[in-house]
Chain A
Amino acid sequence: MRVVVILTLLILGLSAVAGREKSETPQGAITLSEPNSPFVAFDVWVKAGSQNDPKGKEGLAALTASLLSNSSTLQDSYPQILSKLYPIAGGYSANVDKEMTTFTGRIHRDNLDAFYGLFRNALLSPAFKEEDFKRVKAQAVNDAKQSRRFSNDEELSKELLYWQIFKGTPYEHPAQGYVASVESITLDDVKAFYSRYYTRDNVVVGVAGGYPPGFPVRVRSDFAGLRAGRVEVLPKPAPAPGDGINILIVEKNVISTPISFGFPISLLRSDPDFYAMMLANSWLGEHRESVGHLYQVIREKRGLNYGDYSYIEAFPQGYSTQIPPVNVSRRSQIFEVWLRPVAMTAPGNLHDRALFAFRAALREVAALTENGMTPEAFDTQRAYLKNYYVNFGNTVGRRLAYRLDDAFYGIPDPGFFASTPKGLDALSREQANAAIHKHLRHSGLWVVFITEDAEGLKRKLLAGVPTNITYAGKQPQAILDEDKIIAAYPVTVKEPNITVLNINDVFEK
């Protein structure tokens, strides 16, 4: 309850500071006026996510949002909606994360009225037709049963890491739910979820871009048509601190092995240490950029896989985006390393190569934790990030989404995105290294491998033998010397801390 009140105050605060936008920004709305933009972006935030799924109905928040964004309204049948969106190249979609549900859309301002009416109706007057529900549910079941486990092993390994770390908390299950739980969801469940969480007090509307004067007031007054109702705030998830190394090996017929590992951290975007850790993490493993140290060590010098990155905030669907996702704000985060699938690129054994890559990454995390960043690394990375971060706000929709995330975290104006250069400038290397020392570690970890012959990998882990590798080409002596150290880097794991799971049992129930 307290969080709701604070957020409301904060939203009021945001509008007050926004100067000329003041009269334009009603309570319960976040606006970002860019009068010259030919586009208008919408971002409607419902303060509920997969953490609000009832037990046994995991996936309900996601299915509810998916139904709203893909079905009939009281005004239009679904085919009518599609035919109205079609000529204006418009569309809207939903994203459900642990704590947030957001509905986003973007339109050329020529077509604002046509689009907005459809978008508004989708959220405010859904028809909840059985036939629409059946269609959307069938897609969710297919995703849970087949696609999630049989089309993208690396995204699966990341999802399984969260499942491991957040066991026993409302963050445990994937937003898409389990096979059995999604199958059990009824239309009445969806209606009840909508009625409970889609209330006018629990929804914030975001509008940005080249909208006409008075438009946000109109949007907010439309959304005031939702029923009243406060939502109880769940306690913040408290994952177990972790002891030793906990490993999950998924048995699957694969030709390459993705690896994810990490541990819970107490760091949030709103914390004083955040920019320090943003910088350190960028140096270690900026997402899908070759500047990262893990990338340099594992891919660039050794060609073991396609890429190696690290994270201090949730980064779902990382394979499909270069820049960080927005509106996945959470009150509990993990430090995470993502090693893309390690393949057999030279004679030897896939398990040896996978373990070698894992050891190399763990060793680098340990080195950073213990030694911090060098003056040169600190300066170079800061200069890089101060330019690079600009890409994170490259569209009006993303700039708006950052403002919503600011509201989630209670970050005051001008917000996280706009404050980044200032935050980075204010850092000293000592501060950064102190933050690294405080937040990072190389023990108390969870690790996920997806591979063939899981029992074989388990035996190898328990034996603790060095995992040497070979190369297709000639490598410099310095690399080969370092390889000997990496191959024998200690990974001490106890038998009860290794779990083996067949792919058919993954996220089944």
Chain B
Amino acid sequence: MRIFLILVVTIGLAAVALAGPPSGKTFPYDYRLVILPNGFKAYLIKAGAPGQIAYLTVVRTGAREEWEPNKTGFAHFFEHIMFRGTDKYPDYDSVTTRIGAARNASTSADVTQYYLVAASSSLEQIIDLESDRFMNLKYSEPVFRTEAGAILGEFSQGRANPRLYLMEKLMDTAFDVHTYKHLTIGFEKDVRAMPEGYQYSIRFHERYYRPENCVLLLAGDFDVNRAEQLIRKYYSPWKPGYVMPEIKPEPPQTAPKEATAEFPGRTLPILAVAYKGPAWSATDRLAVASEVLGRVAFGPNSDIYRRLVIQDQKVQSLSAGFGLNRDPNLLTITTMINNPEDLPAIKNEIRSTVEKFRTGPCDAKLLADTKSAMRYGFLMQLETPLGIDSALREYAVFTGGVEAVEDYYRTLESVTAEDVEAAANKYLVEAGRTTVVLLPARGGAQ
């Protein structure tokens, strides 16, 4: 037994078997899709380290689904509650301890994800455990209230960080009605009121924790036929019943917005300039082109980065957050400025860079390099079973499956310099702009 274990570690783990990619495909592994009559989908990907599996469940619900007043932060709160047990397994932690699984969960705007990484021999136990808690979660009100304390602790950690502080102000300013107005952690008043939300939490589970709203990504070393049988056995009793959230679309922004956030601590000024972007798409060339645009115009190889960060050293950092979401969200340029007096000049630099990309095609080599960077960035994630699941996650979130990976990279390949210019023209418009500056609070930086 000992010898076996050592072999697994020294040789087995090491030998990441990379089968040659099926020709012309970006994702190099084959997989099997299992669809149950209740709508539950599972992708079985035999790849990664021998002896290990990563089991990642995507719930296509995040802060975006928090459309009711005073209920922000609930998707994330619910993520915590999911570890609180069922009748069959009242102590979730003790089961995962027994099998030595690494497990965690996280919530963002569009998704709540749960994962376990464990030995392949635990496959059936994990399928049993995970299907059970998604179907039969049970927790008492006192337990629910206790967990609210941990959430407030998490909220206060974030509050001590100037970048999160800035993001909170930016989203609140840019959006009027869409649920992207709030961060995943929720508005403070709602976080503080969470202990009173027990009944609502049960409704939340009933609405969103349904088979047709969840996708399983199972990667690693396992018998695919057996995994399919087990998934059919354990997940088939799950009753469908997903209720669509009543998310209001954000009306078109008609004039630029500006705001200031005062951070209760010391910080250099941080400037965020954001524009309303498109929803994520694997096939819409302009949507994919807008992701390319962020890298080309404001990435580490852009003219503005070289000037402001490397040559003139007027800013500490400059980055573009042009990743897209399920619904139209912000395309954001963020920079930390060395001297507060340079703030107006930096704002102008960003705006004139935007203007430049609206009025001419981008450099052809930079475009080709960007496509290569995005493709290799994806491939570099595929080292571990959990890395594979994570690389595929956003496709599952946005489309309910992972097939769109290939569409996405085909679209990326077809993006031209003119598409990038068109994306800039369509999305980087003054009327859709929100500018927020974060400064240390006057007299507050004790």
A residues at B contact (CB < 8 Å)? 32, 34, 36-39, 78-79, 82-83, 86-89, 106, 108, 110-111, 131, 134-135, 138-139, 142, 145-147, 149-154, 252-256, 288-291, 296, 299-307, 319, 322-323, 340-346, 380-381, 383-388, 390-391, 393-396, 399, 414, 417-422, 425, 471-476, 502-504
Which residues of chain A are near B153, meaning CB under 8 Å? 256, 304-306, 340-343, 345
CA distance A37 to B50 in the complex (A): 13
What sequence of 0s and 1s flags, for each residue 16-45 of chain B, a beta carbon within 8 Å of any chain A beta carbon?
111000000000000000000000000000
Among A253, A256, A346, A383, which residue has its beta carbon within 8 angstroms of that of B100?
A383
Which residues of chain A are near B445, meaning CB under 8 Å? 150
Which residues of chain B are near A296, meaning CB under 8 Å? 93
Is A343 a contact partner of B149 (Cβ separation < 8 A)? yes
Which residue from chain A places its CB closest to the CB of B10 in the assembled complex? Answer: A418
CA distance A78 to B98 in the complex (A): 50
Q: A89-B374, A345-B149, A472-B146 are in contact. List 18 more A-B contacts (CB 8 A).
A: A32-B14, A36-B15, A37-B18, A82-B300, A87-B368, A87-B370, A111-B376, A135-B309, A135-B310, A135-B313, A290-B93, A304-B149, A304-B153, A342-B153, A421-B2, A421-B6, A473-B145, A475-B146
B100 CB, nearest partner CB in chain A, Å: 2
Which residues of chain A are near B298, meaning CB under 8 Å? none
23 A-B residue pairs with Cβ-Cβ distance under 8 Å, sorted by A, are A36-B17, A37-B14, A37-B383, A38-B16, A38-B379, A87-B369, A87-B376, A88-B376, A89-B377, A147-B267, A150-B160, A151-B160, A254-B156, A289-B102, A299-B150, A302-B149, A380-B97, A390-B100, A394-B384, A414-B10, A418-B10, A473-B195, A475-B142
B residues at A contact (CB < 8 Å)? 2, 5-6, 8-10, 13-18, 49, 51-52, 83, 93, 96-102, 104, 117-119, 122, 141-150, 152-157, 159-163, 195, 263-268, 299-301, 306, 309-311, 313, 316, 336, 338, 368-370, 372-377, 379-380, 382-384, 386, 444-446
Is A399 a contact partner of B13 (Cβ separation < 8 A)? yes
Is A142 a contact partner of B373 (Cβ separation < 8 A)? no
Is A383 a contact partner of B98 (Cβ separation < 8 A)? yes
CA distance A418 to B338 in the complex (A): 47
Is A388 a contact partner of B102 (Cβ separation < 8 A)? yes
CA distance A299 to B17 in the complex (A): 41
CA distance A63 to B431 in the complex (A): 43
Q: Nearest 10 A-B pairs (CB), nearest first? A: A387-B100, A473-B145, A303-B149, A345-B149, A150-B265, A89-B376, A256-B156, A303-B146, A87-B372, A87-B369
Given contacts A34-B15, A504-B446, A341 and B309 within 8 Å (CB-CB): no
Which residues of chain A are near B157, meaning CB under 8 Å? 153-154, 256, 306, 319, 340-341
A246 CB, nearest partner CB in chain B, Å: 25
Is B266 a contact partner of A146 (Cβ separation < 8 A)? yes
Is A380 a contact partner of B161 (Cβ separation < 8 A)? no
Among A89, A344, A390, which residue has its beta carbon within 8 angstroms of that of B373?
A89
Is B160 a contact partner of A254 (Cβ separation < 8 A)? yes
Which residues of chain A are near B101, meaning CB under 8 Å? 387-388
Which residue from chain B places its CB closest to the CB of A421 in the assembled complex? Answer: B5
Is A253 a contact partner of B444 (Cβ separation < 8 A)? yes
Among A39, A343, A387, A473, which residue has its beta carbon within 8 angstroms of that of B142?
A473
Is A86 a contact partner of B5 (Cβ separation < 8 A)? no
Which residues of chain A are near B336, meaning CB under 8 Å? 142
B409 CB, nearest partner CB in chain A, Å: 14
Is A34 a contact partner of B14 (Cβ separation < 8 A)? yes
Among B99, B122, B306, which residue has its beta carbon within 8 angstroms of that of A79?
B306
Is B372 a contact partner of A88 (Cβ separation < 8 A)? yes
Is B93 a contact partner of A472 (Cβ separation < 8 A)? no
Which residues of chain A are near B100, meaning CB under 8 Å? 383-388, 390
CA distance A10 to B47 in the complex (A): 35
Is A472 a contact partner of B195 (Cβ separation < 8 A)? yes
CA distance A110 to B379 in the complex (A): 11
Among A341, A381, A473, which residue has its beta carbon within 8 angstroms of that of B141?
A473
Which residues of chain A are near B299, meaning CB under 8 Å? 86
A419 CB, nearest partner CB in chain B, Å: 8
Is B156 a contact partner of A343 (Cβ separation < 8 A)? yes
Among B6, B117, B267, which residue has its beta carbon within 8 angstroms of that of A414?
B6
Which residues of chain B are near A388, meaning CB under 8 Å? 100-102
Which residues of chain B are near A34, meaning CB under 8 Å? 14-16
Which residue from chain B places its CB closest to the CB of A342 in the assembled complex? Answer: B153
Which residue from chain A places its CB closest to the CB of B102 in the assembled complex? Answer: A391
Is A151 a contact partner of B161 (Cβ separation < 8 A)? yes
- Among B104, B154, B338, the one with the most A-chain Cβ atoms within 10 Å of its Cβ is B154
Among A108, A131, A153, A384, which residue has its beta carbon within 8 angstroms of that of B376?
A108
CA distance A417 to B9 in the complex (A): 8
Which residues of chain B are near A394, meaning CB under 8 Å? 49, 117, 384, 386
Which residue from chain B places its CB closest to the CB of A397 in the assembled complex? Answer: B383
Which residue from chain B places its CB closest to the CB of A474 in the assembled complex? Answer: B142
CA distance A476 to B141 in the complex (A): 12
Which residues of chain B are near A343, meaning CB under 8 Å? 149, 152-153, 155-156
A348 CB, nearest partner CB in chain B, Å: 12
Which residue from chain A places its CB closest to the CB of B28 in the assembled complex? Answer: A38
CA distance A134 to B310 in the complex (A): 10
A271 CB, nearest partner CB in chain B, Å: 21
CA distance A344 to B153 in the complex (A): 8
Which residues of chain A are near B265, meaning CB under 8 Å? 146, 149-151, 253
CA distance A198 to B119 in the complex (A): 42
CA distance A207 to B161 in the complex (A): 37
Which residues of chain B are near A253, meaning CB under 8 Å? 264-265, 444, 446
Given contacts A89-B380, A417-B9, A291 and B444 within 8 Å (CB-CB): no
Which residues of chain B are near A395, meaning CB under 8 Å? 383-384
Among B9, B102, B306, B379, which residue has its beta carbon within 8 angstroms of that of A418?
B9
B166 CB, nearest partner CB in chain A, Å: 11
Is B16 a contact partner of A36 (Cβ separation < 8 A)? yes
Which residue from chain B places its CB closest to the CB of A303 in the assembled complex? Answer: B149
A394 CB, nearest partner CB in chain B, Å: 5
CA distance A145 to B316 in the complex (A): 13
Which residues of chain B are near A344, meaning CB under 8 Å? 152
Which residue from chain B places its CB closest to the CB of A296 in the assembled complex? Answer: B93
CA distance A252 to B444 in the complex (A): 11
Which residues of chain A are near B370, meaning CB under 8 Å? 86-87
Is B119 a contact partner of A387 (Cβ separation < 8 A)? yes
- Among A302, A319, A471, A472, the one with the most B-chain Cβ atoms within 10 Å of its Cβ is A472
A85 CB, nearest partner CB in chain B, Å: 8
B157 CB, nearest partner CB in chain A, Å: 6
Is A387 a contact partner of B162 (Cβ separation < 8 A)? no
CA distance A307 to B104 in the complex (A): 13
Given contacts A343-B149, A394-B384, A473-B146, A252 and B98 within 8 Å (CB-CB): no
Is A83 a contact partner of B14 (Cβ separation < 8 A)? no
- Among A134, A150, A254, A381, the one with the most B-chain Cβ atoms within 10 Å of its Cβ is A150
Is A38 a contact partner of B266 (Cβ separation < 8 A)? no
Which residue from chain A places its CB closest to the CB of B263 in the assembled complex? Answer: A150
CA distance A32 to B10 in the complex (A): 10
Is A151 a contact partner of B316 (Cβ separation < 8 A)? no
CA distance A322 to B390 in the complex (A): 15
Is A418 a contact partner of B83 (Cβ separation < 8 A)? no
